[in-house]
């Protein structure tokens, strides 16, 4: 947690891996990421689309990207490459 706070103060949070299980409210963190992306790209927040990469390959460009770990999935199956509905 201290590492996240230090990274946020140094504005270096987007170059580090964030473990969502370390956060009390990971949904709040992801919403802040949306807000920051909207500001940085000068786009309305409701036009943003979440892109994911399970392989770790991140497309860089004008968009803000972050690597996360500790993602808890519920109500779905993950085969290592894609999500599907659980039966």
pLDDT digit string, tens, across residues 14-50: 677 888 888 899 899 889 888 888 988 899 999 988 8
Radius of gyration of the chain (CA): 14
pTM: 0.67
Query: How many angstroms separate the CA atoms of 34 and 37, rounded?
Result: 5
Burial 42-56 (b: 16+ CB within 10 A, else e): eeeeeeeeeeeeeee
| pLDDT confidence bin for 6, thresholds 50/70/90 | low
- 39's CB contacts (< 8 A; 6+ apart) are none
Residue 34, domain extent: 2-85
The domain total for the chain is: 1
68 or 16, greater pLDDT: 68
The answer to whether residue 2 scores a pLDDT higher than 70 is no
Q: What's the pLDDT at 40? A: 84
């Amino acid at each position: 947690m201290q590492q996240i706070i230090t990274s946020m103060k140094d504005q270096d949070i987007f170059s580090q891996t964030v473990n969502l299980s370390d956060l009390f409210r990971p949904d709040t963190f992801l919403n802040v990421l949306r807000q920051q992306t909207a500001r940085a790209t000068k786009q309305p927040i409701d036009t943003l689309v979440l892109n994911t990469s399970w392989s770790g390959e991140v497309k860089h460009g004008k968009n803000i990207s972050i690597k996360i770990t500790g993602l808890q999935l519920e109500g779905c199956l993950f085969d290592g490459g894609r999500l599907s509905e659980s039966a």
